[in-house]
Amino acid sequence: MDKKVVITGASKGIGKALAIRFALEGYRVAVCSRDENNLKTLEEEIKTMGAKQPLFYGVCNVGKRDDIIGFYYAVKKEFGPIDILVNNAGIFLPGQIMDEEEGVFEEVMSVNVASAYHFTRLFAKDMIERKSGHIFNMCSIASIKAYPNGGSYCISKFALLGMTKVLREEMEEYNIKVTAVLPGATYTDSWSGSGLPEERFIPAEDVANTIFQISQLSPRTNVEEILMRPQLGDI
């Protein structure tokens, strides 16, 4: 098997869990993040776990289009066409529309929405030529349920879900699957200081395992949306 997957924002949390799962299943995995130290740590972890293929990584600020383009060409040179793209990169900055600092909206939209738009426009070109591929966009419960202090984050996740629906319609004729992933509170570093017990959250590995299993379905089936919540409800 020479299957290839690209995962953005993959140095921790769901992205890291995804990189590990796909690597251990024999995929060639390419990841990016702003933190090179975390990427090196992930590379070593995957190697220690016995992955057959080395991790390919690039330092990339997904809020900058030039960084996205540079990472794309590095992956294309190393891998050629890819089979799966997971637009996972994202940030959460709390606040309300009326009191957020200037620039928060632009930053959050750039990382959470524009990056997925630009990565997709680049990597999907080869998918269209091959008439094969799968794109996962990491949306959120916040894509369908606004909440106080969600501000620009909620706006961005609503927008990403909308973009995913548009993309699905456009890619259908090329036999390219498009899936929106809507996880609720998932235990990652961003929740580590919340004071809530780990048992109250979705494990990042559960999200990664679900995405992997869906990626293995026959070409005749597309799971359009994955909605996941903690068993005890939203936080």
Q: Please write down the long-range contacts of 229-234, taking CB distance under 8 Å and 24 or more positions apart.
A: 229/141, 229/183, 229/184, 229/202, 230/184, 230/185, 230/200, 230/201, 230/202, 232/200, 234/141, 234/145, 234/184, 234/185
Residue 234 within a domain: no
Please give the pLDDT value at position 161. Answer: 98
Residue 185 within a domain: yes
Write down the catalytic residue from 27, 72, 153, 187.
153
In terms of residue numbers, what domain contains 80? 4-228
Residue 33 within a domain: yes
Does the active-site annotation cover 174?
no
Residue 145 within a domain: yes
Please give the pLDDT value at position 192. Answer: 66
> What is the CA angle 144-89-226, rounded to 5?
40
- For 72-102, the pLDDT digits (tens) are 999 999 999 999 999 999 999 999 999 999 9
Per the structure, the count of domains in the chain is 1
Q: What is the CATH number of the domain that holds 77?
A: 3.40.50.720
Please give the pLDDT value at position 115. Answer: 98
Residue 233 within a domain: no
Residue 168 within a domain: yes
Residue 150 within a domain: yes
Please give the pLDDT value at position 190. Answer: 66
* Positions of the chain with pLDDT under 50: none
Residue 235 within a domain: no
Residue indicated by tokens 């030039």 = 66
